[in-house]
Structure 1
Amino acid sequence: MAELYQFTSDRRNIDLEITFMSRYPLAVEGIEFLPLERVEHEVLKDVEMDIRTISDSETYWEQKLPGDYEEIIKWSKDRVQWTTKKELYSILCKGFPVQDCKEWLYLAKNGKKCLMISARTCLRKQEWSWQSLPELRFEDVAFDLHGSSFWLSCKSKLLSPEKTYAIYLVYKLQENHFGFEAPVKVTDVIARRTYERNHSWYIFFLSPQTPVLRRKVYQNAHNPLNRPKIKGLPQQRNDGWMKVQVWEFQANTNTKRLLDELLLTFFNNNLPRGLIVQGVEVEHI
């Protein structure tokens, strides 16, 4: 699915004519109209306001905690101390390092467990250059990709079985970046070897230019602030980094097979420059 246009409807019937110009065969299932969602920082402001205004009832904050929060606390390499359930909830939302500081465990806004896996753990060291950034969750970040493709491994012992997860690459693009306009192919190599369907799809590191349709031609604009959350399109994080969903899977006893062989390939063997990777975020859907 790709975002084509954005517009504000002033009547029930809208007449749009769209022409596709492509050198390659194109199969179209249909056109989908999605209402725009509120931007993420506005939603977070509302959540922060709720936290400040809600009473300090221990029962309320106990319900906000996951049922296995006592087990989660044991995974921290440092001793977790708190006096109230509200304080504990705040600690878990911020998160803490686990698995010898190779992963970071935290709670999402919906209370579900999330993991962030360090770049050192999920990337092949020989494919990148490395830099230390102490202010981040993990000190080392990967940059200066040495080719037109790279491997991604997202194994973890902390995933719950029979749960569906989304994998996001957390990254930044330097000011002098280039080579990220075209889509990037993501391939589950093992699934491809066993001739399984749906073993690859496409993502973007830069959102394509989206025109906003106005009533008059000269009012057209690009890159609106509000964007629908489409799989494969990048999203802005609150910490200044970007993230894009690269895969989706259901954790089970064979999780290693699903996650150990993802290959990201840039279009036409393009050699991109300016990509910085902090790690991989695994979210329970």
Structure 2
Amino acid sequence: MVNSNAQRNARLLRLASTASVVTAVVLIVAKLFAWWVSGSVSMMATVIDSMLDAFASLINMVAVYIALKPADEDHHFGHGKAEQLAALAQSAFIAGSAIFLILHAINDLTNDVEIANEQVAMMVMAFSIVCTLILLLIQNYVIRQTGSIAIKADEMHYRMDLITNFSVILALALAAAGYREADAIFGILIAVYMLNSVRKVAWESIQMLMDRALPEEELERIEKTILSVEGVQGVHNLRTRISGALPIIQFHLDVQGDLSVRQAHDIGGKVKQAILAWMPDADVTFHLDPN
């Protein structure tokens, strides 16, 4: 059952990462056309963002495929941390594009750049919104099923894109009504939002790379599950971390000192199965300590 669950998660991760790359390429082509006919700085913001999305999503797809590789002689705990590295790289791409966008928007504010073909550009943005919504539905389902930090970082990209696309439509509408500066102002606001949104994913990725423990409520549940198994007298040295989407749990199990090796290991096996019953993808390792 554990294997079937892992295989299902692997298929979902591949689906989400591939869908992300395909969507990014489609949006780049559409937005490049809209930018070419309009000259809008906020439209250029979405082009830059989609280009970076495509590059980051490609890295993400490669990272997911690496993370799904099983443990080997050189990587005893698997390759899961490739996901955190990909999420950190995506965060850097987002921050860089946001800073570039702010500088370009300021330049357009001072030079009063004209915008043309606003209607065509708005139609392209409406198309982009539909594509992004479909991808977000796929990604959110995969995140709920797998808890992948890499897909979560990618989902953040496209959630920002969704807000960006609505903002660009509003900016283009205001520009068409004679408020030319609105386009650059919205470009700056989008960039600030990008910088603010990227902080959480970047920090979470760094913490996972530094082997942060599982959340306190999960630690309490693990300890309660262990102590609920008949024959267990105590638990200590409980240590946990996350590698990609794989929780790694290690602990020392206190049992009666007069038990046979077989009896003690039977208790340990029941403890492991109890944990896997609600955390099926976990890597559980225990050491028996006789009292």
TM-score by length of 1: 0.20
Higher relative contact order (CA 8 A, sep 6+): 1
Kindly name which structure, 1 or 2, has the bigger radius of gyration based on alpha carbons.
2
TM-score by length of 2: 0.20
